[in-house]
Amino acid sequence: MARIHPWTPTPKALMKISGLQTAGTPGDVGANLHELDAACRRARAEGAELLITTELFVTGYDIGDAVRDLARTDLLSPAREIATSHGIALVLGAPEYDSGACYNSAFFIDPAGAVLARHRKNHLFGELDRRYFTPGDRPAPVIDYEGVRIAMLICYDVEFPENVRAAALAGADLVAVPTAQMQPYEFIAEHLLRVRAWENQIYIAYVNHDGDEGSLRYVGRSSIVSPSATVLDSAEHGNRLLFATVDPHTVRQARKANPYLADLRPDLFTPSARATKDPSC
């Protein structure tokens, strides 16, 4: 039997969350922070307690060498002030510079402006990611926030089932996924996320860019998916806020009804997961 994190939700557990699908303003930190401020205001007015942005929201993604230069500046302080001014938590996508390396990161910022956790994208996709970023070397952090356990992954990370399974086994109720999914990978947003949610009985909030940026054309199609693989809210294209309510009790009930995690036999898979890659890969 797989080991599941022994956690019981506090009485205050229902949480309304929001996700900001947007084209953003590539390379213009000030404009993106202005958009973040407006989105936080709208989300909070609708009762949301958490806003999730896109991957590298603060700077843009396909902006060339500027992403490294901007990573060396203070991108978090103004975002922390925005979170505080609206009394809302953030999962914020931004580049991060640390000890000579640049990371594609997501930060969990609480309404007091404290950074509770960071995730550094641990699976880099393609030449663009690898040109500018160093991969993170840790699994998704799981934050216990207001009775909901929240994990963070970034874009390509969620396409590896091991990442989401690790978060579920660590007791996560929700996986927040800032993303920058481009053509021709619409099927990831349309199909794979529902599978990830179902096989782990977990909420997934997948928040994507839309429109064109540099050489990329983003597919939009952001969505928030329930543990039963039901799409609770989605946006095909355009700038839009998504909303849904996360209920840890729903997660517990789903895991009782569909006991994949309880029935999992990790003893069969751990050796293969550590095996040397086939040289053809």
Catalytic residue status for 159: no
Instruction: Count the residues in the chain.
Output: 281
| Set 55, 96, 159, 213: catalytic member | 55
Token pair in block for residue 9? 């939700």
Contact 108, 91 (CB under 8 A): yes
Q: What is the DSSP letter of 277?
A: P
| Set 35, 155, 159, 213: catalytic member | 155
Contact 194, 225 (CB under 8 A): yes
| Set 40, 121, 159, 213: catalytic member | 121
Q: Which contiguous run of DSSP H or E holds residue 56?
A: none
Contact 239, 53 (CB under 8 A): no
Count, in order, helices (H) and strands (E) of the chain. 10, 14
Catalytic residue status for 121: yes
Catalytic residue status for 16: no
Strand partners for 217 = 212
CA 75 vs. chain centroid, Å, equals 18
* Residues annotated catalytic, as ranges: 55, 121, 155
